[in-house]
Amino acid sequence: MNTTTPTPGTKFRRKIHYVNPRFQGGAALVISAVVAGGGVLFGWLVYRDVGKALWESAMHAHFTMDTPYEIVGNALLMHLAGLSAAVTLLTLVIFLMLLKAVRIGVEHAIASFRASEEGDLSTPTEAGGSTEFRRFGELVDLTRSNTLSRVAALRDEAASLAACGTPDESFRPRWEELKRKMREVAP
């Protein structure tokens, strides 16, 4: 039994790979559905062709072959090649579509961050591409609107303090409070 006790210098770092079930699990599910569909189609075709070939051989052939594989080997290999080619091609298409969806979503989010840098915190991100990026775009918009409301509150308070003749005794606490709130912007 391992009785090693952790020492101060030992690092225990748990690296979680499955961080986004919708994105990672969704992609795995779609590709798995293609594989399962291909497998079922393959099974049906093999059953139809190989079964028929074996039956016909049993009824008509003179059995010059040593094993059943010699009767159906070519048909089996052809179906296997067809299955592999179809599943690989469909998966490639799905993978490329996934990359495209990610690219579209990321480009929208980047445009949104660049606009935010220029001060536009209210134009919606509208990150398309996939559900995951729409959700991410909503989070980006939430963060931007939160930042905008903080900045707007600061602006209003600063304008209020600068404009009206606030008494000195209440000016100083409001000034300090404004400084404190300012530190909460992009902390």
Partner 1 sequence: MNVTAASPPEPMFERGYRLRFIARLCLAFAAGAVALYAIFYFVLSRPLTGDYSGVFHALRNLSVFLRPVIAVAVLVYVLLVCGAIASVCVYGLHKVAGPLYRMERVMEEIRGGSPTRTVSFREGDQIEPLARAFNDWIGKLRQDRNRWTAAMEDAERECLQGDATCRARMEQALREIVADTSRYR
- Residue 79 tokens read as 């179906």
Is 93 a binding residue for partner 1 by CB under 8 A? The answer is no
Site map for partner 1, 10-29, x if CB under 8 A? Answer: -------xxxx--xxx-xx-
Is 97 a binding residue for partner 1 by CB under 8 A? The answer is no
Q: What's the CA gap between 173 and 180, in Å, rounded?
A: 11
CB 85 within 8 A of CB 36: no
User: 128: burial class by Cβ within 10 Å (0-12, 13-18, 19+)?
Assistant: middle
Is 158 a binding residue for partner 1 by CB under 8 A? The answer is yes
In the block, residue with structure tokens 């992609």: 27
Find, among 180, 174, 151, the residue nearest to 162 by Cα. 174
Is 126 a binding residue for partner 1 by CB under 8 A? The answer is no
DSSP string, 57-84: HHHH-----SSHHHHHHHHHHHHHHHHH
CB 136 within 8 A of CB 149: no
CB nearer partner 1, residue 5 or residue 60: 60
Q: What's at 73, amino acid-wise?
A: G
Is 177 a binding residue for partner 1 by CB under 8 A? The answer is no
CB nearer partner 1, residue 8 or residue 183: 183
Which of the residues 39 through 68 are near partner 1 (CB under 8 A)? 39-40, 42-43, 46-47, 50-51, 54-55, 57-58, 63, 65-68
Is 182 a binding residue for partner 1 by CB under 8 A? The answer is yes
**Residue selected from 125, 129, 130, 136 as contacting partner 1 according to rule CB under 8 A:** 136
CB nearer partner 1, residue 46 or residue 128: 46
**Residue selected from 78, 93, 97, 110 as contacting partner 1 according to rule CB under 8 A:** 110
| Min separation Cβ 77 and partner 1, Å | 8
CB 118 within 8 A of CB 147: no
